[in-house]
Amino acid sequence: MTEMETVSRLLHELWPLMRSLTGDGVRQTHAKLSDVVPLDTFEIPSGTEVFDWTVPDEWRFKEAYVIDPNGNRILDASVNTLHLVNYSMPFSGTVSLDELKEHLYTLPDQPNAIPYVTSYYTRRWGFCLSHNMLSTLPEGQYSVVVDTEFLNGGMTLSEIVLPGDSEKEVFFSTYTCHPSMANNELSGPLTASLLAQRLSNRKKRRYTYRFVFVPETIGAIAYLHRKGEHLKKNMVAGYVVTCTGLDLPFTYQKSRQGDSAADRAAEFALEANGEPFNVRDFVPFGSDERQYCSPGFNLPVGSLMRGPYNTYPEYHTSLDNLDMVTPANILKSVDAYEAICDTLEQNRTYLNLRPHCEPFLTKHNLYQTVNAATQRAQIQTILWLLNLSDSNHDLVAISKRSGTSLQELSEVATILSNASLLKQLD
């Protein structure tokens, strides 16, 4: 199966699942993602204290719908998961239209859209529908069925760790708690899965790669509670993978540090790519970088997006659907994240072992016998590497200064290392 087919199949299989902070919808989602790369899935018990938070009761969803006065089944969550307010408490009974309306949510400004509403920490039940549909509801008695249950279960998290030559890690976090929406969020876990698959197929990885799949906020907090100190010690660069599916220019949101290795690699890779892109500063009300970049951790975690949350009108509604998000869009994001990984893998720091004057390149057989134009460029690359390899300049810095690609610098640096003129640091 091609990557395109994998993404296409998963978009459709994952679409109807009732994802939430907890529950079988999440478990099924992680199981399907495990077809792409094998995830290590684990549960954190309800009631576990994680920093200032408590893991909530598990929410079990069976079915939810309303029977209108004419006997028609409407607002059926099996038709669209968004119809049910996520984490609704159980209810069964007959109510008047006025009573029902106290439990209905619409978007008057977007009358065609069903809103996405959650009620994680206040127990209530409710249904979401388009504002247009609301006006068509007839007077009369409505029969309501919300067959859900809260139980002392667990919260489902998954991860995959791809070991590399170094224990230093590149980190990716994505979330799997949103039901039937496409850019936010199916694009995120699919981008992460495909990227993990590609990296798992590599014969050689310099860094260890860690991918985590968690419910947003509480999941990231629980993960940090377990692994925060490990990440502080080992993380070279990290990214929150979300909103990667729209056909828009890339937006890179910097880590809180603002000039971390994550930021330098992402901006470098985007510049090398050549297409226009946006960069914005960290703000503390985005996605899970809120937790990773909280001041107690301050991890080097940025986020590369195509159509960030809150910036497109379909966000958090039923209009954020599979018409907007194509497999090709998602794979382009996989490419971009892979280019960042390549930048991190290639960005080394060298030390000139003969720092007094230039070495005599002829003696080291470093004058190639190809045509003059190529030779001249290669000699300049050699001279940049020798001159700036003083332990203060990595290859990204030398690339920016010299205009030579990272790939070319990396290859020539290997030649110079083999000639004992450079030594790789770190």
Residues that contact its own copies, how many (by CB under 8 A): 42
Give the phi and the psi of residue 66 in degrees, each rounded to 5: -130, 140
What distance lies between CA 195 and its chain's CA centroid?
10
Contact present, 141 and 95 (Cβ < 8 Å): yes
Query: Given the DSSP bridges, would you call strands 349-352 and 250-253 parallel, antiparallel or unpaired?
Result: unpaired
Q: Considering the rule CB under 8 A, would residue 359 count as an interface residue with its own copies?
A: yes
Pick out residues in 174-233 that bind its own copies (CB under 8 A): 217, 220-221, 224-225, 228
* Shortest Å, Cβ 362 to its own copies: 5
Cα 6–Cα 11–Cα 13 angle in degrees, nearest 5: 95
Nearer to its own copies (CB atom), residue 18 or residue 412 = 412
| Given 131, 264, 290, 306, the residue binding its own copies (CB under 8 A) | 290
Q: Considering the rule CB under 8 A, would residue 356 count as an interface residue with its own copies?
A: yes
d(CA 303, CA 31): 25
Q: Considering the rule CB under 8 A, would residue 47 count as an interface residue with its own copies?
A: no
Q: Considering the rule CB under 8 A, would residue 256 count as an interface residue with its own copies?
A: yes
Q: Which of 339, 206, 168 is nearest to 268 (CA)?
A: 339
Q: Which of 89, 60, 86 is nearest to 156 (CA)?
A: 60
Contact present, 351 and 28 (Cβ < 8 Å): no
Which pair of structure tokens corresponds to residue 237? 């660069």
Q: Considering the rule CB under 8 A, would residue 390 count as an interface residue with its own copies?
A: yes
Q: Considering the rule CB under 8 A, would residue 104 count as an interface residue with its own copies?
A: no
Q: DSSP letter at 406?
A: H
| Given 48, 298, 321, 407, the residue binding its own copies (CB under 8 A) | 298
* Shortest Å, Cβ 389 to its own copies: 7
Q: Which stretch binds its own copies (CB under 8 A): 52-60, 101-109, 243-251, 319-327?
A: 52-60
What distance lies between CA 130 and its chain's CA centroid?
29
Q: Considering the rule CB under 8 A, would residue 247 count as an interface residue with its own copies?
A: no
Q: Considering the rule CB under 8 A, would residue 308 count as an interface residue with its own copies?
A: no
Contact present, 180 and 15 (Cβ < 8 Å): yes
Chain contacts with its own copies (rule: CB under 8 A): 50-54, 121, 217, 220-221, 224-225, 228, 256, 284-285, 290-291, 293-298, 352, 354-360, 362-363, 379-380, 383-384, 386-390
